[in-house]
Amino acid sequence: MTDVGALFRTGQVAPVSGVYRFIESVDAECEPTPEAMKIPLSKGERFPPHRRCKGAVIWELTERA
């Protein structure tokens, strides 16, 4: 079972459906837009890169669906 607060990186597969929030950019100093701070993902979807910079991002599970 994946706990709320678990961290994931761009390219990994979401282990559970839920809401994930942006923690930090890994590859560049890019800040997300307010609407990109939280994303819904379904189990099995891949974590996306930063929308503007296209770099790797750290995501945190904030809410299980």
Question: Please, are residues 39 and 10 in contact by the beta-carbon 8 Å criterion?
Answer: no
First-to-last CA distance in the chain?
A: 13
**Per-residue confidence (pLDDT) for residue 50, from 0 to 100:** 86
What three-state secondary structure class fits 59? strand
Whole-model pTM: value is: 0.90
- Model pLDDT for residues 13-48, shown as the tens digit of each residue: 999 999 999 999 987 778 788 888 999 999 999 999
